[in-house]
Amino acid sequence: MSADTILTTVRQYLEFDPTQPVTLTPIAKGASGRTIVRVVTEEYEPFIGIYWTDERPDNDAYPKVAHFLEEKAGVNVASILHENLKWRVALVEDLGDDDLLSLKDRPWKNREPYYRSAFRQLDKLFFCRAARDMEFNPPFDASLYRWEQEYFFEHFVEGLLGGDADDLREAPEFTDLAERLGASAKHLVHRDFQSQNLMLWEDEVYWIDFQGMRKGRQEYDLASLIYDPYMDHSAEDRERLLDLWEDVSEDRPPEQVFRECAAQRLMQALGAFGNILRNRKDEWYRPHVPVAVKFLAEVTEGMPVGALLKPVLEKAAK
């Protein structure tokens, strides 16, 4: 059904009759619950077709956020060529297949220009203000941070590890963390700012999967990229990235806030890994679990939630 809907939209957009060939090649990437294909024809350059359902409300935000980022914020995104919101289909520019993750094993000198590009755009987003009638997803407040924590308790601690998370749920340390981070939500954040969502195109980084954008703490996006389980940055590279961010933005995140955002993000990531591994049976994510566990243990060392998480993380590391 999804492929048929994309194909019908493509034929309408290109004004093709049923005899003109159109090839749809699935792009199996990420876990956003959308159908994404590469559209190839004899007459035109390839482009991308995206179809989504109403299962995840944030997917409906994709077209309007894309227009906002490109036209108002000056952020690099694939331009929308055509959209049919009634059918939940968007046709967008093809940015190729290379993302930031593809540079994982390359020297820092090869990665640095792309991280600089990503940080420059993130800095632009920090200062950008949307029109008052521009609606985004609900902001990152204490309740959303608590939802992320519950996601971690349910799908990772209980689901993947087979543990009991009731003591963690009831611990005030997690509620306090959520309330502290949720007290400030003034700036727009990508919410999933990691290497698979940053495409490499013409020597620049282009953002994808930004439909979850909302107001929150910028440090959350920074922590998402610097403590990216897919990239497994060394301590040296994490320091390089913080130095690069300071060079771009002329600012450095407060250490405590940055570590707390990293802890929150890593709990969310582990919850997602647990959910995907158990319910979607996608084993591609399994090798990244130990990296996220290692990072979470590191950033929570000495924090109130760290002592509570230690037995869980030690079990996960075995």
Q: Domain extents for the chain?
A: 2-93, 100-317
| 95 or 55, greater pLDDT | 95
Mean pLDDT along residues 19-29: 89
Between the CA of residue 269 and those of 160, 172, 292, what are the distances in Å?
13, 22, 8
Q: Is the pLDDT of residue 83 over 90?
A: yes
Q: What is each CA distance from 59 to 54, 216, 246, in whole angstroms?
A: 8, 19, 32
pLDDT attached to residue 136? 86
Question: What average pLDDT does the chain have?
Answer: 95
Indicate whether 133 pLDDT > 80. no
How confident is the model over 235-247, as a mean pLDDT? 98
Residue 256: predicted pLDDT: 96
Decide if pLDDT at 300 tops 70: yes
Q: What is the mean pLDDT of residues 32-58?
A: 91
Chain segment 160-175, per-residue pLDDT in tens: 999 999 999 999 999 9
Does residue 89 have a pLDDT over 80? yes
pLDDT of residue 54: 83
Percent with pLDDT over 90 in the chain: 89
Q: In whole angstroms, what is the distance from residue 89 CA to residue 98 CA?
A: 23
What pLDDT sits at residue 210?
95
- The per-residue pLDDT for range 151-161, each reduced to its tens digit, is 999 999 999 99
At 62, the pLDDT band (50, 70, 90 cuts) reads very high
Q: Give me the pLDDT at residue 55, please.
A: 83
Residue type, 41: T
Query: What is the tens place of the pLDDT at every residue in 223-235?
Result: 999 999 999 999 9
Q: What is the mean pLDDT of residues 242-250?
A: 98
pLDDT at residue 31 tops 60: no
Q: What is the pLDDT of residue 270?
A: 98
**What's residue 29's pLDDT?**
59
Residue 280 pLDDT > 60, yes or no?
A: yes
For residue 38, pLDDT beyond 90: yes
| Structure tokens belonging to residue 226 | 């610097």
Strand positions, DSSP E, 85-219? 89-93, 187-189, 198-201, 204-207, 214-216
Instruction: Give me the mean pLDDT over the 192-212 stretch.
Output: 96
pLDDT band at 32 (very low <50, low <70, confident <90, very high): low
23, pLDDT greater than 70: yes
Q: Please report the pLDDT score of residue 201 as a whole number.
A: 96
Domains 2-93 and 100-317 equal at CATH topology level: no
Helix (H) or strand (E) holding 39: strand 35-40
The class of domain 2-93 in CATH terms is alpha beta
Top CATH class of 100-317 equals alpha beta
Tell me what pLDDT residue 176 has: 98
pTM here is 0.95
> pLDDT value at position 318?
81
Q: Strand, helix or coil at 198?
A: strand
**Nearest partner of 32 among 255, 240, 276, judged by Cα:** 276
